Chains A and B, each alone.
Chain A
C-alpha cells in the first residue's frame, strides 16, 4: 500500500511539473499577440442554397475535395450525395441501418463512408462499373457506436467510436491496422492533419488527444474543457487543434506550446457546441450550437463577429469547402443550407 501511495505522489508531482512547464512558456497574452491585427468587422452570410430531401434529422455532412459535391447522412436511413450548386441529388444511397451518426467523402471522390449505432463503418463505391452504388466493405470491430470517420486515402480510413478507441483500417482487406486506445470516455469526433501524418480525437473524458498515425502512440493530450468534446478540427496550418464542447466553449490548443492558448466563449451562450469548422485562412471559426444557431468567431481576437440563424432545430454538422468558398450547415430540421 505504501508503494502505491508513493507512486501516486510521484505521478502527481510530475503532473504539477508539467503544468509549471506549460506556464513557463506563456510569455504573452492573446491581446498583445494580436494587437496589430486589423479587426474583422461584422460578418454576415446569407443562405445561397437549401438542400431539401432528407426526411429526418441530419446527423453529419462532409464536403468532397472538389468543393461542389457533398454527402449528408440522416436518420431516415439515407446517405445523399448532393451537387450543391444545382441542389440536385447525385446519389441517394439507402442504408441497412438507419441509425447513422457520421459520414465521410474520400479525397479522391470515389468512396463515401458512414456508420452509427450498428458499430460498423460501411464503405460505398460511388464509381462502380455498372453505375450502381454498392457497399464495398463493412468494417466491423468496434464494440461501440461509430461517432466519426475520415478517409486518409482510398485504402485507409480512421474511425472513432463510443467504445473509447479509434481505429485505422485497411479498406482493401477490411481489417484493422492500428488501434488507438487511451481515452476514458466515448470518442465523439476526429480530424486528420493536413499532412496526413497525425490525427486528433475529442472524447467524453473532456480531453483531446493527438495520435501519430504511423506508430499508434498518443503524442499529446489536451485537457481544459469541463464537459464532453463534441467537435474537433485542425487550424489550417496544422499547428493547432480547435475543439468545441458541451460546456459552451471552443478552445484552441497549440501543438508546439502543448497547451490551450485561446478560449472562445461568451456569457450569453449557454448551450453546447455541436460542430465546428475553420475558414480557409483560419481567421474565422464557424461553430454550430444547440440553440439552432451558428456563431462566427474571430479566431485571433476571440470575439463573436457574426451568426448564421436559419435552422429550426439543432445545427448538427458544419463544413467549409476545400476552396473556402462556402460553408454548409446540416440540422436536425432535415435541411442543409449553403452559406456565403
Chain B
C-alpha cells in the first residue's frame, strides 16, 4: 500500500515510502512456510494465539537477511515503532525487547497505510467506546482530546455515540480471546496515529508548507505587469547563449581535471583521516607548510582563482611579482577585496588609503589602469561604497591573469616549487593479510558481489544501510 499525496499539478508524490518496505517484511514474516514460528502466549489468564517473542523476531531477521544482531534489533524496533508489530505486555512502550516479551502482528485492517490519514471521526468513536467501557476512566490526555473533539464535531456526536455503542455490542458477542485481540490491535493503532503527549510521533511530516503558489492569483495583471514582462523577455532574448556541447564539454573537462583531487572518488594520500584516524593528511595540507604537497601545487595551475585563494599560492605569486617589479598589482587587488567584504564603517578610510597608495598621481605603488576606468573610479571615490573599486579591481585582475599568471606558471620559481613538492607515501599499517587496505570508499569487488547476491531486501529495507556485517556497528 502506498500513500501518496496529490501534489500541485495533479502529480502523485509518495510519502512514507518506508511503509511499503515494512509491509513487505511483515508479510514475509507471516509466510506459512518461511515465516516465523508462532505460538500461543499466555497473557494473565487468557491465551493469545499467534504471538511471538522479541527474541524470535530478532532471530528470524538475522537468519532471513543475514545481518548482525544489532541491525536486526534496530530493524525490528522500527517495525514496532511504526505499528506493524505491537507488544502485548506493555502496550504503550513501543520498543522491541530482545527477550521473552510477547508481540503480535498488527492486522492489515489497522495498518496506518490502510486508512490514511486517521480520521477524527474514528478517533472520536474509539474514545467514546473506551469511555463507556471504562466508565469515564480515560487517561488525562484522552479526556482532553475527547472534550476537544466533542466541541469540534458536535454536529455528528449522536452518530459517534451510536456507533460506539453498536461496536461495543457487537464485540460482546465475540469470544473473549478475540475481543481482547481486537482491543489490543485497535489500541496499538491509535497509539501510533494519535500518540500520547511526549511520545515520539513517527508520522510527523514536519511543518506544513503553505500552498501559496497556486492560490496566489497574480495580482495587478494589468498593462504595467505585461510591459514589465515584455521588457524582461526582451533582455532575456538578447542574451548570448553558448552551445550545449561546449557547456557539457566544460563539465567533463572540469571533473576530469579535478578527479585526482576528489577524495571521495580517488582516495587521498597518505591516508584518508576518516578511515585511518590518522590526521597526517591535514597536517601536510595546513594553510602554511614548509613544503606543500604536489597536488596542491598542481591546482595552482588550474586557474588563476585557485592560485589566489590558496594563501601559500598567493604568497608565492607575490614573490614572483616582486621579482618582476609588479607586486603593486596584487597588493591593490587584495586591498580592493578588503574594501568589498570589509566593515562598512571603515570604508571611507580604506578607500582613502587605496587612493593615496595606488591611484593618486605620483603614488608610491601606482597601478596601471586605463584612463576611462580611472576617471570612473575617481568619480566614485567621492562617495565611497563597497563596490566603488570593482571596475579597477577587475581591470588589474585580468591584467595579472593574462600576463603575469601564465608567465609565473612557466617560471623557474613555480617549476622548482613543483619539483620540491611532496608526494606523501601511503601509510602501510599492518592489517590482516586477507583485508586489503582501502584507500578510498569503494570496497573490493568480491564484497560487492557478495552483497548483490543477497535477497534484495537489504538495501531496500527501511532505513538500513547496505553495509557488510563487519562494519555494521556504528562508530
CB within 8 Å of B: which residues of A? 3-4, 7-8, 10-11, 14-15, 17-18, 21-22, 24-28, 30, 32-34, 36-37, 40-50, 57, 67-68, 85, 99, 101, 117, 152-156, 162, 170, 172-173, 184-186, 194-196, 204-206, 214, 220-221, 226-228, 235-237, 239-240, 246-248, 254, 256-259, 261, 270-272, 279-284, 290-292, 299-300, 307-314, 320, 323-327, 332-333, 338, 340
**Pairwise interchain contact A50-B474, C-beta atoms closer than 8 A:** yes
Q: How far is the CA of A313 from the CA of B442 in the complex (A)?
A: 25
Q: How far is the CA of A230 from the CA of B114 in the complex (A)?
A: 29
**Cβ–Cβ < 8 Å partners of A247 in chain B:** 7, 11, 13
Q: How far is the CA of A170 from the CA of B221 in the complex (A)?
A: 35
Given contacts A271-B13, A332-B206, A279 and B264 within 8 Å (CB-CB):
yes
**Cβ–Cβ < 8 Å partners of A68 in chain B:** 282
B255 within 8 A of A: yes
Q: How far is the CA of A101 from the CA of B206 in the complex (A)?
A: 11
Q: How far is the CA of A152 from the CA of B337 in the complex (A)?
A: 12
**Cβ–Cβ < 8 Å partners of A50 in chain B:** 474-475
Q: How far is the CA of A154 from the CA of B342 in the complex (A)?
A: 8
**Pairwise interchain contact B441-A46, C-beta atoms closer than 8 A:** yes
**Pairwise interchain contact B241-A256, C-beta atoms closer than 8 A:** yes
**Pairwise interchain contact A186-B244, C-beta atoms closer than 8 A:** no
Chain B positions 318 through 347: 1 when the CB is less than 8 Å from some CB of chain A, otherwise 0: 000000000000000000000001111100
**Pairwise interchain contact A310-B464, C-beta atoms closer than 8 A:** yes
Interface size class of B (residues with CB under 8 A): 35 or more
B258 within 8 A of A: yes
**Cβ–Cβ < 8 Å partners of A320 in chain B:** 264
Partner of B441, one of A26, A44, A338: A44
**Cβ–Cβ < 8 Å partners of B474 in chain A:** 47, 50
**Pairwise interchain contact A48-B448, C-beta atoms closer than 8 A:** no
Given contacts A155-B344, A240-B251, A48 and B265 within 8 Å (CB-CB):
no
Q: How far is the CA of A338 from the CA of B245 in the complex (A)?
A: 36
Given contacts A3-B223, A292-B462, A48 and B275 within 8 Å (CB-CB):
yes
**Pairwise interchain contact A185-B262, C-beta atoms closer than 8 A:** no
**Pairwise interchain contact B442-A43, C-beta atoms closer than 8 A:** yes
**Cβ–Cβ < 8 Å partners of B11 in chain A:** 226-227, 247
**Pairwise interchain contact A324-B230, C-beta atoms closer than 8 A:** no
A147 CB, nearest partner CB in chain B, Å: 10
Given contacts A257-B247, A258-B239, A14 and B233 within 8 Å (CB-CB):
yes
**Pairwise interchain contact A340-B18, C-beta atoms closer than 8 A:** no
Given contacts A4-B223, A185-B212, A323 and B229 within 8 Å (CB-CB):
no
**Cβ–Cβ < 8 Å partners of B428 in chain A:** none
B466 within 8 A of A: yes
Chain A to chain B contacts (Cβ below 8 Å), 20 pairs: A10-B226, A10-B230, A25-B242, A32-B245, A33-B252, A34-B252, A43-B442, A57-B204, A67-B282, A101-B207, A153-B341, A154-B341, A156-B341, A172-B343, A247-B11, A256-B242, A261-B248, A270-B4, A272-B13, A299-B251
Q: How far is the CA of A338 from the CA of B441 in the complex (A)?
A: 13
Q: How far is the CA of A37 from the CA of B254 in the complex (A)?
A: 12
5 A-B pairs with the lowest CB-CB distances in the bound complex, closest first: A33-B248, A14-B233, A281-B258, A7-B226, A281-B262
CB within 8 Å of A: which residues of B? 4, 7-9, 11-15, 17-18, 78, 204, 206-207, 209-210, 212-213, 216, 218, 221-223, 226-227, 229-230, 233-234, 236-237, 239, 241-252, 254-259, 261-265, 268, 272-275, 279, 282, 285, 305, 341-345, 387, 390, 441-443, 448, 459, 461-467, 471, 474-475
**Pairwise interchain contact A256-B247, C-beta atoms closer than 8 A:** yes
A77 CB, nearest partner CB in chain B, Å: 15
Given contacts A43-B441, A44-B441, A270-B13, A246 and B233 within 8 Å (CB-CB):
no
**Cβ–Cβ < 8 Å partners of B279 in chain A:** 85
**Cβ–Cβ < 8 Å partners of A21 in chain B:** 237, 241
**Pairwise interchain contact A49-B345, C-beta atoms closer than 8 A:** no
Q: How far is the CA of A280 from the CA of B258 in the complex (A)?
A: 8
B196 CB, nearest partner CB in chain A, Å: 17
Q: How far is the CA of A206 from the CA of B414 in the complex (A)?
A: 48
**Pairwise interchain contact B227-A184, C-beta atoms closer than 8 A:** no
Given contacts A155-B343, A227-B11, A299-B255, A292 and B463 within 8 Å (CB-CB):
yes
Given contacts A43-B264, A283-B265, A340 and B272 within 8 Å (CB-CB):
yes
